[in-house]
Amino acid sequence: MACARFATLKAIHGTSTHMHSLRPRIQISDKVRAFSALMSPPSTAVFYENHGPPDTVTKIVQLPPVEIKANDVCVKILASPINPSDINRIEGVYPVRPPLPAVGGYEGAGVVHSVGSATRGLSPGDLVMVSPPSAGTWQTHVVKDKIFWHKLDKDTPVEYAATVTINPLTALRMIEDFVDLKSGDAIVQNGATSMVGQCVIQLAKLRGIHTVNIIRDRPGSDEAKEKLKKLGADEVYTESQLDVKKVKSLLGNVPEPALGFNCVGGNAASLVLKFLRQGGTMVTYGGMAKKPITVSTSSFIFKELSLTGFYLQNWLSLDRNEECREMLDYLLGLIRQGKLKYDMELAPFSEFHTALDKSLGKLGSQPKQVIKF
């Protein structure tokens, strides 16, 4: 677990916040501590004391140094993304969230700054990522037990190391876990322009699996279609193009999909179901439209469709960490070979709240925002 830093917080923009109810976990004088304990540098962090709108409740503060215990590793964070789940945690609506007060962020990558006296296998200067993901990565320095850090090849692009878990790993697990797909089979998905959607297209292509992709009707949809085609998509349709009686007539040479992915809900989920073949499976891993999934009785009785859900957090755990890291290394290997890529926009930490506004949709459709420290 990360060390508690919330003894005295200094607001960056001129105001001080004193957390009288919270104390450092080691109550000793600064003079004794200087000689007896290894300490982290102070950390600049995105901090929130209450749940609510992220653009209202978050602030940039200076956190004091914390002790680096024997099995701890202090990492200088270089990159951390703003995921929808990060926003939901701050809002207080995500099922898994840290206790308050908290530092935002859940994924991240950086270089080792210093290690505890009993730590082996990691040294200052090593490139590492948080694995499994855990809270508190939106800050310049993070102290966690060594079990939370995974050492990487130094030629790994840091922005990919910081983003490879939540979205690319979701894509890989869904492709492998639900249906025994063979080369020549097909997948249908909505939300195809999302990071997960982009990864599904490329990972499926590498396996000889076709993809049918559904995107929203919006300005720039033609450009989005071309971008997905360049990634390897077989077919790309806007939702309005699928307002026809027999959507399967649009498949051409692509076989009826055995597997479907839904991250939207509402009508977009119904469109995925319409494409599925007899006995097909739809996996729901998100609900961006915040609308329920409506399924006709005939879909269950006559088409024998299966509906299930996927939540990556249920799979990520310390007792499965070795298996997880093998898959992450596989994905990062594809990235280094140029076989897997996805849209990101890098934003300096000084412009965090602009990046947050983009992630909140205030500035229109935007790529994934990744904070560079």
Active site residues: 94
What span, in angstroms and rounded, lies between the C-alpha atoms of 50 and 104?
Answer: 12
Please give the DSSP secondary-structure letter assigned to residue 53.
-
Q: Which one-letter DSSP state was computed for residue 125?
A: T
Name the residue among 17, 25, 39, 1 with its Cα closest to residue 101: 17
As a whole number of angstroms, the distance between CA 254 and CA 184 comes to 8
Helix, strand, coil % (nearest 5) of the chain? 30, 25, 45
Q: Under 8 Å CB-to-CB from 305, ≥6 apart: which residues?
A: 273, 276, 279, 280, 281, 282, 295, 299
Number of Cβ atoms within 10 Å of the Cβ of 20: 7
Q: Fill in the amino acid letter for 110.
A: G
Looking up tokens 């957390």 gives: 19
Question: Measured between alpha carbons, how far is residue 97 from residues 56, 94, 105, 136, 323 in Å?
Answer: 18, 6, 11, 11, 24
